[in-house]
């Protein structure tokens, strides 16, 4: 029976999530292992494996499956390249032409980028569901050495991670299949192989984040010995982000002010400290990041650094031109003379370029981003000057950061100028591009602001109105027997 159960689980991952692999995804703890070996270690490992789909480690859900978009996590393609901030390579060529199709908005539902995003998110959701089901089974947990405090924390982490993966899915694809528990058989698989309305998924995300916030312990780190774990601050920040994307401005402000009242986070004095590998989990700005590490088995290195060694990941001229002369954030993000993306490598000397075992963390939420959410919400509610004052905090920090090339600059203040709400929103949107460049937020920003068509058409991209949602991977539609329908236009 154990082998049958395991086979069904693996087969379902093929049917629903596109993980057509020669071997199981790295780090997978199966339901069979947990039920037959219910220990604190196996249950903790189940939660730990749920984080893994946030990593940029190579070949987590594929074995050099370039055409399936599974070599590494695709958010830099679907966000930065699609938004016109990033080019595929420093020197254009025909390598991985599917990435160029994303850049030009000349793609079909067969493009591997969409399959990759779908596979990563649903594999993460599958693991989260497994962890949640186990941790909520008090009979199983009671046979282990897990304390109630540990169980609550782990359950809070799993709820957060499920919400995080679903948040990515609804922003990319809109309505998506809603899976909230481990699947037991093929009949159950067919029952869920259709798209749930986006609002239903958003409701689940909201509920999961509320559960996470109620379960996670108070403190900057939920586990001081493992600071990479989901914290209460991460859950509260995601509640604010969920409200932001639904334009619930007062709720955004409320969540952020509660987060600020705890005093855990602040802007670092130096812009690059949030990305510096030598300061990981020792600074005050990063709220949630995936912890890449060297020399681990299985590997936990940042494989995106390896792609950079092959010439991938370069800035567009449009992105570079967006910065004021002398703004130090440009060179800390990417230095064209050295062809190094410092922000993603975690150093300013290029030492990890080409190294698939790079320790540079993947930063998902940092305090500067949260402050800009609050600034946006304030401006949207008519508190224009208060919002602009927050933007000036971001700009002053940038101005005070020593430039890599030794120059100094003065960035113009934006508050106190009597700007209209419309102009203030324009300033806010521009500042987000500068501050958060290459952090995979840009296309989601353009989409939620409703200006993607205007901005990307001006760049010469073939953006159409239906591109506000990406296509459901064609392979998933085929495997569902047509029960999953396609987004309009594709």
Q: Which residue has the higher pLDDT, 33 or 414?
A: 414
CATH 1.25.40.390 holds for 1-216 = yes
pLDDT tens digit string along 289-343? 999 999 999 999 999 999 999 999 999 999 999 999 999 999 999 999 999 999 9
One fold for both 1-216 and 232-449?
Answer: yes
pLDDT at residue 465 is higher than 70:
yes
pLDDT band at 5 (very low <50, low <70, confident <90, very high): very low
Task: Average the pLDDT over 180-187 and give the result.
Answer: 76
Contact 111, 101 (CB under 8 A): yes
| Measured distance CA(222)–CA(262) in Å, rounded | 14
pLDDT tens digit string along 85-123? 999 999 999 999 999 999 999 999 999 999 999 999 999
Angle (CA) 87 93 98, round 5°: 65
pLDDT band at 274 (very low <50, low <70, confident <90, very high): very high
Contact 265, 285 (CB under 8 A): yes
pLDDT of residue 38: 82
**Any bridge partners for residue 262, and if so which?**
none
| Measured distance CA(12)–CA(183) in Å, rounded | 8
First to last CA, the chain: 42
pLDDT at residue 29 is higher than 70:
no
**SS3 label, residue 366:** strand
pLDDT band at 426 (very low <50, low <70, confident <90, very high): very high
φ and ψ at residue 249, rounded to 5 degrees: -65, -45
pLDDT of residue 6: 35
Helix H or strand E encompassing 406: none
Task: Average the pLDDT over 418-437 and give the result.
Answer: 98
pLDDT of residue 79: 98
pLDDT of residue 404: 94
- The domain locations on the chain are 1-216, 232-449
The reply to whether omega before 50 is within 30° of 0 (cis) is no
pLDDT of residue 31: 56
**SS3 label, residue 461:** coil
Contact 42, 33 (CB under 8 A): yes
pLDDT band at 16 (very low <50, low <70, confident <90, very high): very low
Please tell me the total number of residues recorded for the chain in this structure: 490
Contact 208, 160 (CB under 8 A): yes
pLDDT band at 187 (very low <50, low <70, confident <90, very high): low
pLDDT at residue 186 is higher than 60:
no
pLDDT tens digit string along 412-422? 999 999 999 99
**SS3 label, residue 436:** coil
pLDDT of residue 17: 40
- The Cα diameter of the chain in Å comes to 71
Q: How many CB atoms lie within 10 A of CB 422?
A: 10
Helix H or strand E encompassing 127: helix 112-135
The per-residue b/e assignment along 440-469, b for 16 or more CB within 10 angstroms, e otherwise, is bbbbbbbbeeeebbebbeeeebebeeebbb
Helix H or strand E encompassing 53: none
**SS3 label, residue 27:** coil
pLDDT of residue 35: 56
pLDDT band at 22 (very low <50, low <70, confident <90, very high): very low
Q: Write 141-147 long-range contacts (CB < 8 A, 24+).
A: 141/38, 141/43, 143/38, 144/38, 144/39, 144/40, 144/43, 145/39, 145/40, 146/40, 146/43, 146/44
pLDDT band at 33 (very low <50, low <70, confident <90, very high): low
pLDDT tens digit string along 357-402? 999 999 999 999 999 999 999 999 999 999 999 999 999 999 999 9
Q: Write 446-452 long-range contacts (CB < 8 A, 24+).
A: 446/83, 447/171, 448/171, 448/244, 448/245
Q: What is the pTM of this model?
A: 0.93
Q: For residue 175, give Cα distances in angstroms to 104, 199, 241, 295, 454.
A: 24, 8, 19, 40, 25
Residue 413: is it exposed, middle or buried by C-beta count within 10 angstroms (0-12/13-18/19+)? Answer: middle
Contact 363, 291 (CB under 8 A): no
Contact 252, 373 (CB under 8 A): yes
pLDDT of residue 312: 97
pLDDT at residue 190 is higher than 90:
no
Fold held by 232-449: 1.25.40
């Amino acid at each position: 029976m154990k082998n049958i159960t395991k086979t069904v689980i693996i087969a379902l991952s093929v049917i629903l999530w596109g993980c057509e692999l020669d071997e199981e995804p790295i780090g997978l703890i199966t339901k069979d292992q947990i039920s037959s070996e219910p220990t604190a270690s196996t249950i903790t490992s189940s939660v730990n494996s749920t984080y893994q789909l946030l990593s940029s480690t190579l070949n987590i859900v594929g074995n050099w499956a370039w055409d399936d978009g599974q070599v590494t996590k695709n958010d830099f393609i679907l966000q930065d390249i699609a938004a016109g901030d990033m080019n595929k390579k420093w020197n254009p060529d025909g390598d991985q032409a599917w990435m160029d199709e994303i850049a030009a908005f000349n793609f079909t539902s067969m493009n591997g980028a969409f399959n990759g995003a779908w596979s990563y998110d649903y594999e993460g959701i599958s693991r989260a569901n497994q962890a949640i089901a186990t941790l909520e089974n008090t009979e199983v947990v009671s046979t282990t050495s897990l304390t109630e405090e540990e169980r609550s924390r782990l359950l809070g982490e799993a709820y957060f991670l499920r919400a995080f993966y679903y948040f990515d899915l609804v922003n990319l694809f809109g309505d998506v299949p809603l899976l909230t528990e481990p699947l037991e058989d093929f009949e159950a698989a067919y029952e869920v192989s259709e798209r749930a309305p986006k609002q239903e998924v958003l409701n689940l995300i909201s509920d999961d984040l509320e559960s996470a916030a109620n379960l996670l312990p108070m403190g900057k780190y939920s586990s001081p010995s493992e600071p990479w774990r989901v914290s209460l601050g991460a859950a509260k920040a995601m509640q604010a982000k969920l409200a932001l994307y639904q334009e619930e401005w007062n709720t955004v402000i409320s969540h952020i002010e509660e987060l600020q009242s705890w005093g855990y986070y602040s802007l670092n004095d130096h812009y690059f400290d949030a990305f510096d590998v030598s300061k990981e989990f020792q600074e005050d700005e990063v709220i949630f990041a995936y912890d890449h590490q060297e020399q681990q088995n299985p590997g936990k290195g940042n494989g995106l650094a390896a792609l950079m060694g092959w010439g991938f990941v370069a800035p567009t001229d449009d992105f570079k031109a967006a910065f004021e002369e002398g703004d130090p954030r440009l060179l800390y993000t990417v230095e064209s003379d050295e062809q190094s993306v410092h922000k993603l490598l975690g150093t300013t000397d290029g030492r990890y370029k080409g190294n698939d075992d790079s320790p540079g963390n993947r930063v998902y939420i940092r305090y500067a981003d949260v402050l800009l959410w609050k600034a946006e919400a304030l401006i949207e509610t008519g508190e224009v000057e208060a919002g602009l004052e927050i933007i000036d905090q971001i700009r002053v920090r940038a101005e005070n950061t020593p430039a890599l090339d030794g120059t100094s600059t003065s960035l113009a203040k934006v508050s106190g100028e009597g700007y209209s709400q419309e102009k203030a929103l324009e300033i806010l949107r521009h500042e987000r591009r500068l501050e958060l460049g290459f952090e995979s937020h840009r296309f989601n920003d353009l989409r939620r602001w409703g200006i993607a068509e205007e901005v990307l058409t001006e760049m010469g991209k073939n953006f159409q109105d239906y591109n506000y949602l990406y296509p459901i991977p064609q392979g998933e539609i085929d495997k569902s027997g047509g029960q999953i329908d396609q987004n309009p236009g594709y």
